[in-house]
Chain A
Amino acid sequence: MEMVRAILRPNSIDRVVCALEETGFFSMTRMDVFGRGKQKGIRVGEVQYDELPKTMLMFVVNSRDTQRLIDTITKVANTGNIGDGKIFISPVDAVYTIRTGESGL
């Protein structure tokens, strides 16, 4: 199992969630975060914005579904401009459902 964390533009989230529903990924956790990339934020005229509002989507999926999930997110969230976001993938040892106490997704 793997954890996929996608940091995306807040205004692309609705489109991404709709596309993921069609692909079969229903479960996710969403959180509002602030972040920046190697451009150190954005400069508008005289004002430098250090941190930009982003939305993070977090999934735990079976390893064989990871690539399909990444492909869907990148296809929908891509605008071609700087600031589209990043996707991070990390290993997960185990998942437990609290209601039943069972292990597994």
Chain B
Amino acid sequence: MKEITAIIRTNRIQKTKEALVEAGYPSMTVKEVLGRGKQRGLQQEFCLDIPEPDDGELLPRISFIPKRLLTLVVDDEDVDSLVVLITKANQTGSVGDGKIIVSPVSDAVRVRTSEAGHVALS
């Protein structure tokens, strides 16, 4: 069992949800978060290169950018196809498309019935 955490652009969440539902993964958790990558947020509108480590004073900037965090817990064999699916739905080619993180989960329990393991996911 794996947890897929995707941090994506806010305006792509609808497209991602549609793609996931179509592929048969309707369950997910979505949260509004703020984030940034190695560009340290938005420094200037058209300057999204990685800043030099020794350039001293940083320009005025937006240090955290609103993002959506999407979490799914799925079986091991579904991970690869989901990564491709989420990548496809979110790829624009510009900096800030987001990251997908795959981490192990030891168990899942459905609260309504106390079922554990694989059946709790389906």
Q: Which residues of A contact B (CB under 8 A)?
A: 3, 17, 21, 24, 26-31, 58, 60, 90-99, 101
User: Are B35 and A28 touching (Cβ within 8 A)?
Assistant: yes
| Given contact pairs A93-B103, A96-B87, A98-B87, A31 touches B40 in the complex (Cβ within 8 A) | no
User: Are A31 and B91 touching (Cβ within 8 A)?
Assistant: no
User: Are B36 and A28 touching (Cβ within 8 A)?
Assistant: yes
Tell whether B104 is near chain A: CB-to-CB under 8 Å. Answer: yes
Tell whether B20 is near chain A: CB-to-CB under 8 Å. Answer: no
Report Cα–Cα, A90/B96, bound state, in Å. 24
Q: Which residue of B lies closest to A94 (CB)?
A: B102
Report Cα–Cα, A29/B5, bound state, in Å. 12
Number of B positions contacting A (CB below 8 A): 37
User: Are B101 and A98 touching (Cβ within 8 A)?
Assistant: no
Partner of A3, one of B53, B64, B103: B103
A-B contact pairs, 8 of them (CB 8 A): A27-B37, A28-B36, A93-B2, A95-B102, A97-B97, A98-B90, A99-B94, A99-B96
User: Are B102 and A30 touching (Cβ within 8 A)?
Assistant: no
Report Cα–Cα, A101/B31, bound state, in Å. 23
B contact residues around A97 at 8 Å (CB): 97, 99
A contact residues around B38 at 8 Å (CB): 26-27
User: Are A95 and B100 touching (Cβ within 8 A)?
Assistant: yes
Q: Which residue of B lies closest to A30 (CB)?
A: B34
B contact residues around A95 at 8 Å (CB): 99-102
Partner of B100, one of A3, A58, A98: A98
User: Are B33 and A96 touching (Cβ within 8 A)?
Assistant: no
Tell whether B63 is near chain A: CB-to-CB under 8 Å. Answer: yes
Tell whether B95 is near chain A: CB-to-CB under 8 Å. Answer: yes
User: Are B95 and A29 touching (Cβ within 8 A)?
Assistant: no
Minimum CB–CB distance from A62 to chain B (whole Å) comes to: 13
User: Are B100 and A26 touching (Cβ within 8 A)?
Assistant: no
A contact residues around B35 at 8 Å (CB): 27-30
Tell whether B83 is near chain A: CB-to-CB under 8 Å. Answer: yes
Report Cα–Cα, A70/B39, bound state, in Å. 22
Tell whether B69 is near chain A: CB-to-CB under 8 Å. Answer: yes
